[in-house]
Amino acid sequence: MQNLKTELNIQNLTLMYVGNLESYQGIDLLLESFALVVNQTAQADLVIIGGDSADILKYQIKTKELGIAHKVHFCGSQPTNHLGLYLAQADILISPRIKGKNTPMKVYSYLDSGKPVVATDLLTHTQVMNNQVAILAKPNAEDFSQGILSLINDQNLRLKLGRAGKQLVQEKHSYTAFSQKLNTLYDYLRLELSKNSELFIR
């Protein structure tokens, strides 16, 4: 497992996106927002993990057009079982998705990592996250960049949201929490069936 900051020569905070590079993921939004971030601070680099070679090339060209190629690192597809190790090396995790209703599965891994998350303020994210556990920003470059900057500039906020996100996912979305909910449902069904049975016997 590589040390990203060493291999990529990153001296700053590491922003990280993990996932494919399809348009619905909001990669254009991410890069345009990051360009605005870079205009205001040199304290962050962006690492993008995932995507096929064609998509990576397309977005590498875009980073050059935006003047941020020196601050954006494309690592390509990586083994799924390395995900936790990569997330552990990030300072801020980003989910810029702009379409869809289902919550991306990676969001649960993001939260469980204990790292702060910046995500678009859309149903795809708000079904799971709120402003107490993540920075939720409107899906435009200006607002999204401000969301990112709020975390870059505030270490205490990063720590606070990281802890809150981890607590949320462990209490409500872990296997243990799922088992507890399932057992509660079974208990409820047994009670209802018992009531109905008594009514029927009477």
Distance CA(191)–CA(83), nearest Å, equals 42
Rounded to whole angstroms, how far apart are CA atoms 169 and 134?
A: 12
Amino acid at 122: L
Helix intervals (H) in the chain: 4-7, 27-40, 53-66, 83-88, 106-112, 123-126, 141-152, 155-172, 175-201
Rounded Cα–Cα distance for residues 20 and 16 (Å)? 13
- Residue 27 CA to residue 156 CA, distance in Å, equals 27
β-pair type (13-18, 44-49): parallel
Query: What percentage of residues in the chain have a pLDDT greater than 90?
Result: 71
Taking only the tens place, the pLDDT of each residue in 5-14 is 899 999 999 9
Q: How far apart are CA 154 and CA 146, in angstroms?
A: 12
pLDDT digit string (tens) for 79-118? 888 888 899 999 999 999 999 888 888 899 999 999 999 9
Structure tokens at 17: 């996106």
The 10s digit of each residue's pLDDT in 140-157 is: 999 999 999 999 999 999
Terminal Cα distance for the chain, rounded: 67
Domain 4-165 has CATH 3.40.50.2000: yes
On the CB side of 95, CA atoms within 13 Å amount to 28
Residue ranges covered by each domain of the chain:
4-165
- Which pLDDT band, with edges at 50, 70 and 90, does 188 fall under? very low
Helix (H, G, I), strand (E, B) or coil at 140: coil
Model-wide pTM > 0.75: yes
